[in-house]
């Protein structure tokens, strides 16, 4: 197992008031993302636990792109990875953000 | 299209099964009650250890429910997973909801935590017996991709009532387990039609292993759950003696059948080979026309 | 101990316990009252017929009324693995046996499990683990799955599993680990007569299912008790 | 005086020797080895019929059981190396030299045997190439083929899996070769004559029906959200934009997703009748919903697919069927159709390099490409226009008189940036080059060359390579859709954004697609059982694909 924590400063808080959401399942090629609105509005942390060792730079890039695109200020995001591919990670992060915004 | 039970996650099933917005989770994922053991095996953990427990409303009735996530570790019973179910059942005994629902989706015991999982299954069965003695129906719903195997099959057999869909399978030894131990001649696990007609929902419904066969939709399971909580048998000597008689009669009547289709033919099904292809509605029609397929004792 | 030795130690005045096809049924006098005995002997796999034979014996005891204790003696294989057993509803038959034992217990018949040999998986759950209190004799070997099979399923090397088994009771087969998990309450002394030891268990039955508390105290199931308690607490809040 | 009939004489001798083990043309399966030992000569060119689907497996077992003292040094010329027996003969010395097209399941073993020198390799062909060479310089002396039934005169019914048989028989029977057919059954009258009896010399009643691999069955249950997103992009960004009506699909889950989105996503876009009407395609079960929804006008097939026979027979308006009602497939004709009469090929691959060369070969597998290189190439012999073809030609541009510009076939790679086990699909150098060096291949096994590929679709977007005007643009366009692979992360972001402004790189949002809408509920069928329902119960999936 390998774990990372990435801390980002955001320009704005994520919209919505939902306190917590979870999406995805820990299964082969999949992951779960837990999002909690517990941080200051200009902060976002992304914690990752993955059984696939050696992809730290990819995780870092995926997390940075997500933060840049979504501006998830205020969120503590935790990921349990089941060996998902980066595109699946991006998708789940986007799904999680939409849930927190109170979207569909 | 309505939500497929087979495809839905445990959380999606819970949300869509209960009255909208009524679900309240106990020890939710934010509490991070995760397996202390999986890291030793270099395996990823889940924030809820593969089971969602809590309470909500089913058409206004107060229900407690547990939903297993079949995609995480095959929905298997680990220490935390099992303890959450046991805790839920114990809480139900004192809080007396109108019913308890168990949404099975499990391969049985999680081998990495085998002793904890096995013991939790025994604790679960005792807790279910206590609830049933107290007059609280415990209804099982089986239709997930992991089926309901191993100890899960025994827990299912302890419930007051069971609903099962086509995707659901209920058995103790899984097909691969039988094949590994006894050879492909005994059970060819790759012959999936054989798997389903031996362990699948239709066979269980036809022979008395389940009370309702329903479509693979959350709406159908909701209707089945509502139906079943209203007609749970007592947990007493009369019920178990009737179940004893029912099971003995089954073995006496079908014990020499090699295949499910032979059993169905003996039940009076005209076209046994056509049963797997029947829609739920057509299948219900078939069951209604057969004698001896109502099995109250459980 | 063998079954014969156990029965001799339990019932010095004689008994009517028989074994047929590996299935144990019968009675014997214990502490001035009738003790009903059911079980599985000789590492026999438990199938649909066996489960129903045992459940019939248990239900007969319940039907007879009174408070005769039921002793469940176990040296079994796992559940019988066959196409026929599953076709005819092995899960129902095993669950029915467990329910019969749970009903007996609820209606005032103390149920005691005694594992003296092997047992595994579904057979273990339906018999010994469905009693109010489960004890063992030294040399008993309960398991969920043996280590070579675990190695095959988990794709981990056997040597690694063997090393892990020494420090991690939660997954490893064997009596000690089941004791630590709280599933087995105690190990009896084979040198002393068994009758009084069983009688003592009956007088001192746990009032509720305390297996997770034992597992926590003994370290074999470190978190189950607290997790269950947290769920109960959340439900009451 | 020159003897102009040496081959004919030799053929007559072989047949006479074989007759000793036959009753007329009919041979019992117990006598297969004796028959083969009587007919075969050392060094013969032999076609043992087997492609990616049907297998003359009874004859393959017979050949493997021949005495290597009598039968040896054969030159195998067959499209598929699929069964273990196909390679066993190289270990025993029965065969020595090999020319083939496809070796899916045996790819790793072939690589090992090539490396160990047990096989002398001629070349790894496309199907059409190998078929072509049957008539020029690889004509078989003996063909061992498979059919469903035959009469005593040898008239052969191939059943729906006709596949390579007419081509193999044509080349063998009319050039002094011997044709031996295994059939499941000898009958008084065959349902239809696929091969006339005077081209068949011996008929063996096999011990069991010939094996057919359900190679084209994709379980909708396994289609992922990512594949659905890519399918949405392909439909909206390519099928709709170019008005693709005549096409061929690969066998991956990505193209299965496209098939399953036709009656839902594409229908909502108003594309029915405008795209995906005429196909060169095996009878994919995942095409059933599109057929039933009226999307599809007709389908010509390379071969059949297990379980599809009743459905096909009930849809003669769509499929090519014989007087008996069952499918008539033909690999050579369908490959030709895919090459010349289709405007688009879309398929998957394992590796794409910075210029767009792609290959499914990895360093330890020589799988062959079957038909993909033909399907996935721009045929320079094409002379008929279509709007699609002309539009692509205009996009490709070029110098000189526009009136002399020809069209382009669309060749689309539909590929997820990472494959199984997080293996990147985009690489600096193809493993195929490494492999060629290692086992001494003169020509590296490239599936689709860069100059044939026109679009790459990944979950990140679509790269239109037709619009790239130099090698650097091309490289950045590829990097621009290569996601988080090293190749993708190595992009020049400014250049990729510039390409995006020109429509060379297009993101889902540029196409009006919201990635979060890529949901399995969009699939017309989400399980094999749904496909059975769509087919009105006519589709009969193999047991291993059932969950009921």
Q: What would the DSSP string read from start to end of D252-292?
A: SHHHHHHHHHIIIIIHHTT-TTTSS-EEE----GGGHHHHH
- Position C169 scores a pLDDT of 86
CATH class of segment(s) B10-170+209-234: alpha beta
Is 50 exceeded by the pLDDT of residue D25? yes
Neighbours of A (≥3 Cβ pairs closer than 8 A)?
A: B, D
Mean pLDDT on D332-351: 96
Interval D228-254: pLDDT, tens: 999 999 999 999 999 999 999 999 999
- ipTM for the predicted complex comes to 0.89
- State whether B1 and D546 contact (CB < 8 Å): no
Q: How far is CA C172 from the centre of its chain?
A: 17
Is 50 exceeded by the pLDDT of residue A104? no
Among the partner-chain residues A36, A49, A78, the one whose CB lies closest to the CB of B44 is A49
Residues of B within 8 A of C229 (CB-CB) are 87
Interval C107-141: pLDDT, tens: 999 999 999 999 999 999 999 999 999 999 999 99
Q: Considering its fold, how many domains does chain C have in total?
A: 1
Is 90 exceeded by the pLDDT of residue C153? no
Average pLDDT, chain C: 94
Mean pLDDT on D331-342: 97
The residue of chain D with its CA nearest to that of B145 is D547
In the numeric block, the tokens 């290597």 are attached to: D68
Interval D490-519: pLDDT, tens: 999 999 999 999 999 999 999 999 998 999
Q: C191 pLDDT band (50/70/90 cuts)? A: very high
Q: A103 pLDDT band (50/70/90 cuts)? A: low
- Position B235 scores a pLDDT of 96
Here the CATH number for the domain that contains residue C182 is: 3.90.226.10
- Position D368 scores a pLDDT of 82
The dihedral region occupied by D276, where left means phi > 0, alpha psi between -120 and 50, and beta the remainder, is left
Higher confidence at residue D44 or residue C165?
A: D44
- Most distant CA pair in chain B, distance: 55
Looking at domain D21-212, its CATH architecture is: 3-Layer(aba) Sandwich (3.40)
Among the partner-chain residues A62, A83, A94, the one whose CB lies closest to the CB of D484 is A62
CA of A83 vs chain B CAs: smallest distance (Å): 9
* D112: its two tokens: 């090992």
The whole domain housing C147 covers 3-236
Interval D277-322: pLDDT, tens: 999 999 999 999 999 999 999 999 999 999 999 999 999 999 999 9
Residue B16 touches partner D, C-beta closer than 8 Å: no
Domain limits of chain B? 10-170+209-234
Domain limits of chain A? 2-100
Helix boundaries (H) for D192-266: 225-234, 240-242, 253-261
Do C and D touch, counting CB pairs below 8 Å (3 needed)? no
- Position D501 scores a pLDDT of 97
- State whether B193 and D546 contact (CB < 8 Å): yes
Is 90 exceeded by the pLDDT of residue C57? yes
Mean pLDDT on D189-193: 97
Domain limits of chain D? 21-212, 217-342+514-537, 345-506
Interval D51-67: pLDDT, tens: 878 999 999 999 999 99
- Position D504 scores a pLDDT of 98
- State whether A85 and D515 contact (CB < 8 Å): no
CA of D544 vs chain B CAs: smallest distance (Å): 5
Residues of D within 8 A of B142 (CB-CB) are none
- Domains D21-212 and D345-506 are alike in CATH topology: yes
| CA-closest candidate to residue D459, choices A87, A92, A24 | A87
Q: Is D122 helix (H, G, I), strand (E, B) or coil?
A: strand
Interval D72-85: pLDDT, tens: 999 999 999 999 99
D345-506 belongs to CATH 3.30.2320 = no
Q: Is C100 helix (H, G, I), strand (E, B) or coil?
A: helix
Interval D139-183: pLDDT, tens: 999 999 999 999 999 999 999 999 999 999 999 999 999 999 999
- Position C152 scores a pLDDT of 79
Is 90 exceeded by the pLDDT of residue D438? no
- Position D398 scores a pLDDT of 79
* Series of mean pLDDT values for 10-residue runs along chain B (298 residues): 88 96 97 95 96 98 98 97 98 97 97 95 98 97 96 98 95 91 89 93 94 95 96 95 96 95 94 91 92 78
| CA-closest candidate to residue C68, choices C100, C122, C28 | C28
* D264: its two tokens: 């839902």
Interval A14-71: pLDDT, tens: 999 999 999 999 999 999 999 999 999 999 999 999 999 999 999 999 999 999 999 9
């Amino acid at each position: 197992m390998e774990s990372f924590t990435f801390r980002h400063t955001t320009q704005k808080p994520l919209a919505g008031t939902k306190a917590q959401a979870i999406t995805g399942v820990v299964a082969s090629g999949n992951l779960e993302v837990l999002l909690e609105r517990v941080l200051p509005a200009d902060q976002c942390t992304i914690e990752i636990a993955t059984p696939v060792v050696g992809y730290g730079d990819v995780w870092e890039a995926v997390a940075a792109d997500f933060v840049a695109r979504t501006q998830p200020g205020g969120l503590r995001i935790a990921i349990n990875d089941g060996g998902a591919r980066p595109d699946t990670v991006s998708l789940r992060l986007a799904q999680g953000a939409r849930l927190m915004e109170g979207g569909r | 299209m309505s939500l497929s039970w087979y495809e839905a996650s445990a959380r999606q099933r819970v949300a869509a099964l209960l009255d909208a917005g009524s679900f309240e989770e106990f020890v939710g994922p934010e509490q991070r009650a995760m397996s202390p053991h999986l890291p030793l095996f270099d395996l990823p953990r889940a924030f809820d250890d593969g089971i969602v427990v809590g309470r909500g409303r089913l058409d206004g009735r107060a229900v407690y429910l547990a939903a297993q996530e079949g995609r995480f570790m095959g929905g298997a019973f680990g220490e935390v997973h099992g303890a959450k179910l046991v805790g839920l059942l114990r809480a139900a005994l004192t809080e007396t909801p109108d019913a308890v629902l168990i949404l099975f989706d499990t391969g049985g015991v999680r081998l990495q935590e085998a002793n904890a999982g096995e013991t939790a299954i025994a604790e679960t069965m005792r807790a279910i017996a206590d609830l049933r003695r107290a007059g609280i129906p415990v209804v099982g719903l089986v239709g997930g991709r992991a089926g309901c195997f191993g100890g899960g099959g025994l827990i299912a057999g302890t419930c007051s009532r069971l609903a099962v869909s086509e995707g659901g399978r209920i058995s103790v030894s899984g097909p691969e387990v039988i094949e590994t131990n006894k050879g492909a001649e005994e059970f060819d696990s790759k012959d999936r039609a054989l798997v389903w007609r031996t362990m699948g929902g239709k066979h269980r419904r036809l022979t008395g292993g389940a009370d309702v066969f329903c479509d693979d939709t959350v709406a159908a399971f909701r209707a089945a759950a509502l139906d079943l909580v209203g007609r749970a048998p007592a947990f007493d000597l009369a019920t178990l003696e009737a179940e004893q008689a029912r099971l003995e009669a089954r073995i006496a009547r079908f014990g020499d059948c090699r295949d499910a289709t032979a059993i169905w033919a003996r039940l009076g099904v005209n076209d046994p080979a056509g049963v797997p292809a029947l829609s739920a509605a057509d299948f219900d029609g078939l069951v209604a026309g057969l004698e001896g397929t109502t099995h109250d004792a459980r | 101990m063998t079954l014969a030795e156990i029965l001799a130690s339990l019932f010095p005045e004689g008994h009517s316990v028989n074994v047929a096809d590996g299935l144990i049924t019968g009675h014997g006098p214990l502490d001035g009252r009738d003790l009903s005995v059911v079980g599985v002997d000789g590492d026999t796999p438990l199938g649909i017929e066996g489960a129903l034979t045992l459940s019939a014996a248990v239900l007969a005891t319940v039907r007879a009324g009174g408070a005769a204790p039921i002793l469940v003696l176990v040296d079994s294989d796992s559940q019988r693995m066959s196409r026929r057993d599953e076709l005819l509803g092995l899960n129902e038959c095993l669950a029915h046996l467990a329910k019969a034992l749970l009903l007996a217990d609820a209606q005032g018949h103390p149920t005691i499990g005694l594992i003296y040999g092997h047992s595994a998986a579904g057979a273990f759950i339906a018999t010994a683990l469905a009693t109010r209190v489960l004890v063992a004799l030294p040399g008993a070997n309960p398991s969920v799955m043996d280590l070579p099979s675990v190695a095959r399923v988990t794709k981990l090397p056997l040597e690694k599993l063997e090393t892990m088994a020494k420090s991690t009771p939660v997954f490893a087969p064997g009596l000690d680990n089941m004791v630590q998990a709280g599933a087995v309450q105690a190990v009896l002394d084979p040198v002393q007569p068994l009758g009084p030891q069983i009688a003592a268990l009956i007088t001192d039955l746990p009032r509720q299912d305390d297996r997770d508390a034992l597992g926590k105290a003994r370290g074999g199931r470190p978190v189950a008790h607290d997790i269950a308690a947290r769920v109960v607490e959340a439900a009451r809040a | 005086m020159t003897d102009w009939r040496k081959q004919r004489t030799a053929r007559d001798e072989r047949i006479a020797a074989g007759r000793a083990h036959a009753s007329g043309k009919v041979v019992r399966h117990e006598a297969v080895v004796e028959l083969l030992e009587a007919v075969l000569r050392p060094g013969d060119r032999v076609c043992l019929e087997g492609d990616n689907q049907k297998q003359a497996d009874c004859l393959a077992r017979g050949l493997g059981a021949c005495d290597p003292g009598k039968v040896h040094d054969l030159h195998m010329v067959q499209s598929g190396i699929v069964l273990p027996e196909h390679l066993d003969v190289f270990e025993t010395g029965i065969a020595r030299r090999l020319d083939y097209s496809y070796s899916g399941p045996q790819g790793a073993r072939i690589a090992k045997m090539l490396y160990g020198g047990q096989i002398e390799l001629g070349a790894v062909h496309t199907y059409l190439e190998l078929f072509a060479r049957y008539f020029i310089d690889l004509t078989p002396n003996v063909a061992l083929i498979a059919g469903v039934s035959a009469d005593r005169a040898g008239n052969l019914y191939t059943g729906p899996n006709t596949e390579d048989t007419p081509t193999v028989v044509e080349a063998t029977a009319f050039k002094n070769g011997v044709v031996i057919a295994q059939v499941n059954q000898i009958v008084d009258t065959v349902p239809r004559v696929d091969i006339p009896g005077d081209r068949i010399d011996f008929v063996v009643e096999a011990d069991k029906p010939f094996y057919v691999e359900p190679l084209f069955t994709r379980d909708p249950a396994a289609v992922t959200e990512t594949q659905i997103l890519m399918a949405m992009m392909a439909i909206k960004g390519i099928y709709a934009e170019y008005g693709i009506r005549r096409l061929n699909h690969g066998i991956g889950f990505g193209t299965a997703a496209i098939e399953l989105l036709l009656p839902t996503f594409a229908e909502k876009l108003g594309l029915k009748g405008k795209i995906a009407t005429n196909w060169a395609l095996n009878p994919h079960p995942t095409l059933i919903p599109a057929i039933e929804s009226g999307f599809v006008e007709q389908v010509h097939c390379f071969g059949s697919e297990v379980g599809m026979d009743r459905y096909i027979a009930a849809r003669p308006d769509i499929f090519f069927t014989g007087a008996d009602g069952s499918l008539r497939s033909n690999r050579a004709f369908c490959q030709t159709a895919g090459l010349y009469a289709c405007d688009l090929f879309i398929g998957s691959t394992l590796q794409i390099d910075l210029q767009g060369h792609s290959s499914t070969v990895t360093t330890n597998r020589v799988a062959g490409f079957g038909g993909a290189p033909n399907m996935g190439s721009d045929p320079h012999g094409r002379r008929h226009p279509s709007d699609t073809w002309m539009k692509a030609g205009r996009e490709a541009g070029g110098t000189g008189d526009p009136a002399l510009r020809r069209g382009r076939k669309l060749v689309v790679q539909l590929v997820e940036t990472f494959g199984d086990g997080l293996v990147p699909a985009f690489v600096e150098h193809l493993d195929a080059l490494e492999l060629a060096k290692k086992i001494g291949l003169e020509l590296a096994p490239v599936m689709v060359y860069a100059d044939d590929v026109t679009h790459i679709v990944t979950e990140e977007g679509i790269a239109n390579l037709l619009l790239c005007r130099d090698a650097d643009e091309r490289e950045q366009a590829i990097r621009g859709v290569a996601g988080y692979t090293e190749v993708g992360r190595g992009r020049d972001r400014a250049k990729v954004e510039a390409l995006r402004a020109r429509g060379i790189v297009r993101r889902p949002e540029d196409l009006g697609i919201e990635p979060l809408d890529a949901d399995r509920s969009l699939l017309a069928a989400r399980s094999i059982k749904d496909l059975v329902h769509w087919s009105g119960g006519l589709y009969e999936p193999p047991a291993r694909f059932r969950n009921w």
